[in-house]
Amino acid sequence: MKIPEKFHNSLEEAPFKTCNNCQKELINSNSEYLIEKAYKQFGQFEAEELLFEIAICMDCANTMRGSLSKESKNAVENFFMEKSMARKNQAGIDPMAECLLTGKPLTEMEEYQIYAYCQGDSIAMHGGYYVLSDDIIEAIQSLLSAETKEELQRFTDEHTGMPPELKKLFSQGDLLLI
Ligand SMILES: [Zn+2]
């Protein structure tokens, strides 16, 4: 399937075309890449604000993963596995309407992040897309070692041309790239 509009580059109002890290072209080269975005919702105004967005090719994502501690990666993987096992048989649910791991409705989240695993102009065949709620993101962050948080910070500082206010968000370990 085509990449849902919610995952488009908000500045260009079009699909992401290059890796935010190495600038590699993504669409014509049919590359595999990840898109991650974070939003804050203002329920009383029925509005939301985009906190950050990033498209990153698998080479860059793997390089980054390689620099993270094994303990942190295992902890996050186990957490994901446990939570998804508990949520089996949820077929037919719109993945953008609720948290992948808790089922918390999107409308009840103050902040949330969306993830898509893409190839070229489509959602990757063996990929998918999903939403994680604020409480789950917090729980995942608490699993990361200080060392891993430092690596995430360094990666952002070195490779991501982000404005300082966005870097601050990443330094909290928000850039998970799971
Ligand atoms: Zn890249």
Model confidence pLDDT, tens digit, residues 138-151: 888 888 888 887 77
Evaluate whether residue 59 is within a structural domain.
Answer: yes
Which residues 6+ apart lie within 8 Å of 20 measured at CB? 54, 55, 56, 160, 161
Evaluate whether residue 27 is within a structural domain.
Answer: yes
Residue-number span of the structural domain to which 62 is assigned: 5-166
d(CA 17, ligand 1 centre) in Å: 11
Evaluate whether residue 134 is within a structural domain.
Answer: yes
Per-residue pLDDT tens for 51-64?
Answer: 888 899 999 888 88
Closest CA to 113 of 58, 32, 44, 175: 175
Evaluate whether residue 110 is within a structural domain.
Answer: yes
d(CA 155, ligand 1 centre) in Å: 12
- Alpha carbon distance 108, 177 (integer Å): 24
- Alpha carbon distance 166, 178 (integer Å): 19
Phi then psi for 120, rounded to 5 degrees? Answer: 60, -125
What pTM value is reported for the model? 0.85
The residue ranges of the chain whose pLDDT is under 50 are 169-173, 178
pLDDT score, position 165: 54
Evaluate whether residue 109 is within a structural domain.
Answer: yes
d(CA 170, ligand 1 centre) in Å: 17
Evaluate whether residue 173 is within a structural domain.
Answer: no
Q: Is 170 left (phi over 0), alpha (psi -120 to 50) or beta?
A: alpha
d(CA 34, ligand 1 centre) in Å: 10
**In the block, residue with structure tokens 């789950």:** 136
Evaluate whether residue 171 is within a structural domain.
Answer: no
Evaluate whether residue 178 is within a structural domain.
Answer: no
Share of the chain above pLDDT 90, in %: 35
pLDDT score, position 30: 97
How many CB atoms are located within 10 Å of the residue 162 CB? Answer: 17
pLDDT score, position 134: 87
Domain count, the chain: 1
